Structure 1
């Protein structure tokens, strides 16, 4: 019996004690019947490939560092094949620390392409950014790309200048806790919960039963508290903001964000880089800046738009991906534009 082992570099054939490797980019054709066993090996990218280091993606004068905020923001490692397996909150802090130690950096551009994420995770990132600005005195410009909503905008609002793409989707300054009542669904499969609990409210938010009114009021009070803190911080950073338009959780375009005070001007990432260069070099038109991203050795970057592959593949389970069905590590309070209830799976949850 021959075995086929499909690896990242090609195909290895094993026959008895002999083996040979066929390297191919597509397919292997063999004459005659072949009894095989195929194994796919797709290990995640090694997240321990040394510290982040500056990678020049644009030549110029005067270094501007890009710090990217991409994808769903959760204070947890993203795991699985094709993922770097990193914690977005920890990686954000590491990049800020690296920039602080790089004396060549004259300004920072926060490149935001994220719907937001956990309230606690986004709060930690905003606090890190505020303390970084206080220590370094470096100008920070936020560039809002395709989606910069919820907690992602909350982080970006701490920048000195906010530049929004015309077609950006931003805003979404709300707090949500997605809870589901699966009692009837469980009953169809004869799944009857029998909890043993000490503490009447220890199972608050359980999918196995409906929320009681008192429990709903408790959770609503928590969401309101988190929301008030987000709004207070954003209003402090963005004094021109229109609370009536910005604080009810609505989303808006880049141009609408400028009108509502969430952004200062409309422009793309190149515009944001030029604004950052101009702030760092006042007194005339700033030259095209040198731009760097901070990446690990196994995570290449060649343009200012380079994104780290941090979305894991999801395995095919026995049960369908229904909202609330797989909630071992979520719920959590989210500040996120989340029209698709199952998007939490993007975080490897």
Structure 2
């Protein structure tokens, strides 16, 4: 057999070996690609999982946001914004914790309470008022100022009156030193609809001011006396906080509000300024750091549900309010 015949006889085997080699390479390449795809898939899933964990952590425990940029002397700012009530953004627990955190920070040179609130719960307001008075007694060298933007009325003014000074804009609204209790009466509407009220109580005044029953003179007088007591507590707190700066007039504690300009004249405010100027020119620490306590998202959602129930209940029970 010559060389040409030998080559022809070996060709089928070599061809089969080459094809098998190519198939093996393709198979291994496919496996490698699948492995790489799985690795990248695991990587991106892990990254997404970590991202979700961080978001949940921040939502549930906002204190994980540790960067307050509080190095060096600064002015601590605490926002008192919105209705003052438990479960609201402006509530005593968060405001008090904000104040305490600001005081604990060794770089805090002064505190600004940025006020923009129509008021709210007298109890919540009193808690914050007492905390400010306590801080002033324990840290007399640390100034605490209230800076009013649009409005600081009723419960908000209750709190502001505890600070060292109150700064306003000439167009701010400030004051409303009074107490109210509101509700509705449906007696005539029920008569027109032919609805009979059936109410059973144990205790002569258990259904006091029931909106579906006619008002009773003795119960109305009692509630007015109760409101008068809360009002007197409010007045006493303002007088204690403001001292001889108040230029008392017959209508000062009547529930009226004044512009910032009039407020400076009658002594319920001290001067005109804003956050930036108070921090820079009065406290002497231009850098401002926000110490406002942020409520956890889950707690906030729960609070919203609770607040909705409380609001509906207060309309029936007619809870006193500084607003």
1:225 pairs with one of 217, 225, 229: 229
The CA deviation string for residues 188-216 of structure 1, in whole angstroms up to 9 with x for no partner, is: 55543312111110111211123211111
The CA deviation string for residues 277-316 of structure 1, in whole angstroms up to 9 with x for no partner, is: 1xxxxxxxx4x522111256899xxxxxxxx99x969xxx
Distance in 1 of aligned mates of 2:77 and 2:276: 11
Q: How does the TM-score come out when normalised to structure 2?
A: 0.70
1:240 pairs with one of 239, 245, 260: 245
Q: CA deviation at 1:221?
A: 0.6
1:328 pairs with one of 302, 313, 320: 313
Contact 2:95/2:292 (<8 A) preserved: no
Distance in 2 of aligned mates of 1:268 and 1:180: 40
Distance in 1 of aligned mates of 2:64 and 2:133: 23
Between Structure 1 and Structure 2, the one with more strand by share is: 1
1:77 pairs with one of 42, 67, 87: 87
Contact 2:81/2:117 (<8 A) preserved: yes
Runs of 5+ consecutive residues of structure 2 not aligned to the other structure: 1-55, 306-310
Distance in 2 of aligned mates of 1:191 and 1:47: 48
Q: CA deviation at 1:335?
A: 1.1
Structure number with greater Rg is 2
Give the root-mean-square deviation of aligned CA atoms. Answer: 3.1
2:260 pairs with one of 245, 254, 261: 254
- Aligned residues, how many? 255
Contact 2:180/2:322 (<8 A) preserved: yes
Runs of 5+ consecutive residues of structure 1 not aligned to the other structure: 1-42, 79-85, 278-285, 300-307, 314-325, 337-349
2:162 pairs with one of 142, 158, 163: 158
2:110 pairs with one of 103, 107, 112: 107
Cα separation, partners in 2 of 1:216 and 1:257, compared to 1, 3 Å: same
Equivalent residue of 1:77, what SS?
coil
Cα separation, partners in 2 of 1:329 and 1:248, compared to 1, 3 Å: closer
1:1-349 correspondence runs (5 A): 46=59, 48-50=61-63, 55-56=68-69, 62-74=73-85, 76-78=86-88, 88-137=91-140, 138-188=142-192, 190-238=194-242, 239-244=244-249, 245-277=251-283, 286=284, 289-295=286-292, 327-330=312-315, 331-336=318-323
